[in-house]
Amino acid sequence: MAMSEAAPDVPVCGPAFVTERRLVPWIGTSWKMNKTRTEARQYTEALTRTLNATPVSAAVWLLPPFTALGAVCEAARGSSLRVGAQDMHWADDGPYTGEVSALNIKECGAQLVELGHFERRQAFGETDEVVNKKVCCALAHGLAPLICIGETAMQRDYSVAREVVAYQVKVALHGVDPARLPDITIAYEPGWAIGKDGTEAAPVAVNAMHRLIRDVISSKYGTTISEQVYIVYGGSVTQDNAMSFANQTEVDGLFVGRAALEVDSFAAIIKEFSQARSRSTSSSHRDHGDDVPRRAPQLIRPSPQT
Ligand code: PGA
């Protein structure tokens, strides 16, 4: 058993876009404990067909349950879809019954790993220190961490949400090499907005929290690096409200739960958000007198699945 040290030369296939975050939103879903391997494969094939038929300016990722990870990676091969796990242990191997390591995840062909989801923090007692160990381990193995951050309803009601979110970001990124920051995505997901009992968050308030997260990153790593980090929003995102986040300048994409369990609904969210984003981006370019259309940036690091 060994805990991994960060190894900056391991390639990661995270967001790491070349130029402007706003041009290519980063949109994904975790199916949580839903879908069998067969269902997951069928979903992936259907989504690939849909996105091939109507190309979108968005980078899309899927986080299936562990048992379906290999099948989804296989079904996504040759497409632009990225695939990740919903959690992992911070050790490479050892006496951790039921746990899954970065090596297991990599072997399936996955590129991302979600860490610190609210449900893992609440139901399984995951702490910020544990999230940090997992972040370092993921980077050391070339997996792009998707770090979930967010306050509880109680913390919101006691007006300490900003302090909690800043603390979570600082601890999650403790010891992370600045060069690795563009491989990291932060998902802001307030606990009170997640799940069937969640309440929708106001887009303006989400934008303000994303700005805070970026400011925390900036104070530690500088503005240039902080501007390269994708910060996505999750919590009761639906086809009806997805577009309302698209013109928020700090919202770089969406992390969708229930509303992405059906392919059609997820595909509609991806399409509507990315189209609304392109419209708001091109009008802001016009507002600034920039009439040269900008091309969407390519990914720096090609997906190993292509
Ligand atoms: P939800 O889940 O969209 O079903 O609220 C979001 C999440 O937990 O990431």
Q: At 148, which CATH number?
A: 3.20.20.70
Is residue 9, in this structure, part of any structural domain at all?
no
Report the mean per-residue pLDDT for the chain. 88
Q: Which atom of ligand 1 is nearest to the CA of 187?
A: 9
Is residue 222, in this structure, part of any structural domain at all?
yes
Average pLDDT over residues 60-73: 98
Q: Which CA distances in Å does 83 have to 39, 44, 173, 214, 299?
A: 15, 10, 22, 25, 15
Is residue 130, in this structure, part of any structural domain at all?
yes
Is residue 96, in this structure, part of any structural domain at all?
yes
**What residues line ligand 1, using a CB cutoff of 6 Å?**
30, 189, 194-195, 198, 234-237, 255-259
Q: Which CA distances in Å does 161 have to 20, 155, 273?
A: 29, 5, 27
> Between 21 and 238, where is the model more confident?
238
Residue 146, Cβ density class (10 Å: 0-12 exposed, 13-18 middle, ≥19 buried): buried
pLDDT in tens, 191-219: 999 999 999 999 999 999 999 999 999 99
Tokens describing residue 248: 């928020």
The domain tally of the chain equals 1
pLDDT for the residue 116: 98
Is residue 29, in this structure, part of any structural domain at all?
yes
Average pLDDT over residues 97-110: 97
pLDDT for the residue 304: 34
Q: Does residue 288 have an active-site annotation?
A: no
Report d(CA 64, CA 31) in Å as an integer.
5
Q: Is the pLDDT of residue 295 over 70?
A: no
CA of 235 to the centre of ligand 1 (A): 5
Report d(CA 45, CA 76) in Å as an integer.
7
Average pLDDT over residues 33-40: 98
Average pLDDT over residues 176-183: 93
Is residue 20, in this structure, part of any structural domain at all?
no
Share of the chain above pLDDT 90, in %: 80
CA of 7 to the centre of ligand 1 (A): 32
Q: Which atom of ligand 1 is nearest to the CA of 148?
A: 9
Q: Which domain holds residue 67?
A: 25-284
Say what the pTM is. Answer: 0.88
At 284, the pLDDT band (50, 70, 90 cuts) reads low
pLDDT for the residue 24: 86
Q: Does residue 189 have an active-site annotation?
A: yes
Is residue 181, in this structure, part of any structural domain at all?
yes
pLDDT for the residue 22: 60
pLDDT for the residue 301: 36
pLDDT for the residue 62: 98
pLDDT for the residue 8: 36
Average pLDDT over residues 89-100: 98
Q: Is the pLDDT of residue 156 over 60?
A: yes
Report d(CA 246, CA 121) in Å as an integer.
28
CA of 106 to the centre of ligand 1 (A): 25
Is residue 299, in this structure, part of any structural domain at all?
no
